Amino acid sequence: MRINVYLWTVLFSSLTFIFSLKILDWFSFMKLSPIGWAKKWHIFSDSHGLVKWFILWVFVVIIAAVLFAIAELLKKVRMDIVAIFLAIVIVWLIEWSVQHTFYIRHFSIPLAVVIGLHLLWIFETATYHAKMRNLESRNKLPQSV
């Protein structure tokens, strides 16, 4: 069951994250483009937009899988504070890579909310299932008839 939960959580979280990024891009809630990495790094810059979104999705799946595995190990930590802190750091790094300055002029709050919600989803699911696995593996009293 562990691999089943792991797989479905990572896939659906990454899919909804990409969908949320598309909505933020479509309604212009953030200044940067989620697929702007193709122009910046000169990789797949001539490809169709769907190819760029697919590559971004694969990258997000890998990151979500790593975060899920790390969160299972940290089951004693409050994940809401970790998710908020990590979301702020990730958005700051994204804005820093776009603006190339230490002082961030535009901090995208909608992007931070989307990242924070998806991080919380991944972290809380991982810690919940890690705690449940510990409860199932404890010594239990023998069945009394």
- DSSP, collapsed to helix, strand or coil, labels residue 2 as helix
pLDDT grade, residue 70 (50/70/90)?
very high
Tell me the domain boundaries of the chain.
Answer: 1-139
Are 60 and 9 in contact by the 8 Å Cβ rule? The answer is no
CA dist., res. 110 & res. 141, Å (int)? 50
Q: What is the pLDDT of residue 58?
A: 94
Which segments within the chain are labelled E, that is strand? none
CA dist., res. 9 & res. 61, Å (int)? 10
Q: Which pTM was predicted?
A: 0.83
pLDDT reading at 145 higher than 80: no
CA dist., res. 137 & res. 43, Å (int)? 48
Of residues 100 and 56, the one with the higher pLDDT is 56
CA dist., res. 76 & res. 29, Å (int)? 35
pLDDT tens digits for 13-26? 999 999 999 999 89
Are 35 and 53 in contact by the 8 Å Cβ rule? The answer is yes
pLDDT reading at 129 higher than 70: yes
Q: What is the pLDDT of residue 89?
A: 93
CA dist., res. 8 & res. 5, Å (int)? 5
pLDDT grade, residue 38 (50/70/90)?
low
If you ran DSSP here, which 8-state letter would residue 45 be given?
A: T
